[in-house]
């Protein structure tokens, strides 16, 4: 009797561990879909709430708890994405995805599935590429269904038959959604610059900014570069993108002059790529992400909204 009870207890603990172990993968999925760690955590919390709302018999009837959790989390994210457009229309200034510091647990794929995903390497998005700021910004131009099909298939390796069951569409429709989303990404993103080379350019950019050297900044910026800032209406930030290398260089130099040594610029990894963090008295007040093409910086995303800097200030 005791052995039987112990065995059931061990099985229960093993099942609970398996459910909990899915959490980081689900957050990685939800973050890519929503572009917000806070919203991703809320979506995953709602997913677990629904799981634990079921009876033990209902849970035992689920063949694959991981697949069940993925389905529910994706559907929760879909609902959030459908309402996000309205919320972001009321957002003060430009909306930029929430930047994340260097971590490995949120860059995770589907358990038991090779990262290669589709047979053709050209028809996939790598795990590290899928958390770059440039990629997350590109996702903003897509419909919720396109975003889900692309992330589930290209990043997490789910077959279209399973994606169809999650989204309520046919496999053929999901395949077309992913294909159209992939075309959007490839059209909007330049050929990826090696991470080490981007790090060199960002380091040179930091030195030029620290020195308030406009000419050096101009040499590092593409003529048609864009700087987009996100203050969320909470802190001061440019309400509209700044276009052109000269405008960006003068804007940044003016910031450096007005800061008068009160800010510290640090090299940090931002969403898997070289970036900068601006600190005031040891507290992060801005995070800069970059995109690079042809040895020049083409895009700068400056996140100043304090609500989006929580991962950089916590602890």
> What are 131-169's pLDDT values in tens digits?
899 999 999 989 999 999 999 999 999 999 999 999 999
Specify the pLDDT at position 57.
Answer: 94
- Average pLDDT of the segment spanning 223-245: 94
Specify the pLDDT at position 215.
Answer: 97
Contacts 24+ apart (CB under 8 A), 162-170: 162/67, 165/71, 166/70, 166/71, 166/74, 166/75, 167/74, 167/78, 169/145
Quick one: DSSP state of residue 280? E
Specify the pLDDT at position 13.
Answer: 52
Q: Does the pLDDT at position 9 exceed 60?
A: no
Q: How far apart are CA 165 and CA 314, in angstroms?
A: 38
C-alpha distances out from residue 249 to 85, 112, 212, 225, Å: 32, 47, 9, 10
- Average pLDDT of the segment spanning 88-102: 88
Quick one: DSSP state of residue 284? E
Three-state DSSP state, 281:
coil
Provide the whole-model pTM.
Answer: 0.87
State the average pLDDT for the chain: 87
Q: How far apart are CA 123 and CA 130, in angstroms?
A: 13
Q: Boundaries of CATH 3.10.450.50 in the chain? A: 195-313
> What are 260-271's pLDDT values in tens digits?
778 999 999 999
Confidence of residue 253 (pLDDT cuts 50, 70, 90): very high
Confidence of residue 109 (pLDDT cuts 50, 70, 90): low
Are 261 and 120 in contact by the 8 Å Cβ rule? The answer is no
Confidence of residue 85 (pLDDT cuts 50, 70, 90): confident
Confidence of residue 115 (pLDDT cuts 50, 70, 90): very low
Are 41 and 76 in contact by the 8 Å Cβ rule? The answer is no
In CATH, the architecture of 195-313 is Roll (3.10)
* DSSP line for 116-158: T-SSSGGG---TTGGGSHHHHHHHTTS-HHHHHHHIIIIIT--
Confidence of residue 15 (pLDDT cuts 50, 70, 90): low
Specify the pLDDT at position 127.
Answer: 65
């Amino acid at each position: 009797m005791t052995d039987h009870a112990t065995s059931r207890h061990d099985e229960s603990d093993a099942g609970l561990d398996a459910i909990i172990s899915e959490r980081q993968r689900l957050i990685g999925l939800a973050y890519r879909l929503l572009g917000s760690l806070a919203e991703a955590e809320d979506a995953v919390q709602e997913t677990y709430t629904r799981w634990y709302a079921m009876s033990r018999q209902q849970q035992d009837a689920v063949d694959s708890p991981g697949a069940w959790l993925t389905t529910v989390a994706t559907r929760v994210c879909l609902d959030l994405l459908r309402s996000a457009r309205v919320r972001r229309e009321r957002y003060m200034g430009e909306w930029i995805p929430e930047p994340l510091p260097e971590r490995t647990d949120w860059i995770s794929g589907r358990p038991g599935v090779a990262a290669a995903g589709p047979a053709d390497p050209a028809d996939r998005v790598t795990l590290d590429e899928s958390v770059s700021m440039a990629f997350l910004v590109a996702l903003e131009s897509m419909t919720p269904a396109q975003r889900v099909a692309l992330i589930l298939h290209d990043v997490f390796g789910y077959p279209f038959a399973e994606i169809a069951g999650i989204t309520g569409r046919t496999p053929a429709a999901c395949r077309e959604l992913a294909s159209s989303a992939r075309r959007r990404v490839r059209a909007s993103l330049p050929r990826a610059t090696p991470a080490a080379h981007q790090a060199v350019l960002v380091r040179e950019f930091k030195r030029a900014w620290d020195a308030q050297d406009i000419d050096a900044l101009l040499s590092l910026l593409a003529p048609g570069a864009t700087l987009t800032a996100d203050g969320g209406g909470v802190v001061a930030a440019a309400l509209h993108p700044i276009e052109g290398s000269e405008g960006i260089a003068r804007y940044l130099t003016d910031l450096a002059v007005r800061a008068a040594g009160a800010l510290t610029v640090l090299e940090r990894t931002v969403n898997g790529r070289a970036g900068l963090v601006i600190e005031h008295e040891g507290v992060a007040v801005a995070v800069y992400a970059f995109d690079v093409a042809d040895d020049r910086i083409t895009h700068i995303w400056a996140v100043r909204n304090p609500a989006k800097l929580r991962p950089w200030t916590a602890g």
